[in-house]
Amino acid sequence: MKYFIFTIIFLALVFIGISISVLDFQDPMEGDSGMALIVILASLCVVVLMGILLVSRRIAKKHK
């Protein structure tokens, strides 16, 4: 399960990288830049949630 979580985090970081390359900083809400911004925010949420999952699993292991 640990490797699966790290794979999801890695894929989210790849999506962030790809979306930053598409993002137009002059007009971030127009066209493909708007979609890239949404993907960046969603990927950041995934990274945070997977980090929380890793910490909670580590705490559960210590508790047992």
Residue type, 51: G
Residue 34 has pLDDT above 80, yes or no: yes
Mean pLDDT of all residues in 32-48: 95
Residue 10 has pLDDT above 90, yes or no: yes
Instruction: Please classify residue 8 by burial: count the beta carbons closer than 10 Å to its beta carbon, then call 0-12 exposed, 13-18 middle and 19+ buried.
Output: middle
What predicted TM-score, i.e. pTM, was given to this entire model? 0.86
Q: How far is CA 2 from the centre of its chain?
A: 16
Alpha carbons 41 and 23: distance in angstroms, whole number = 12
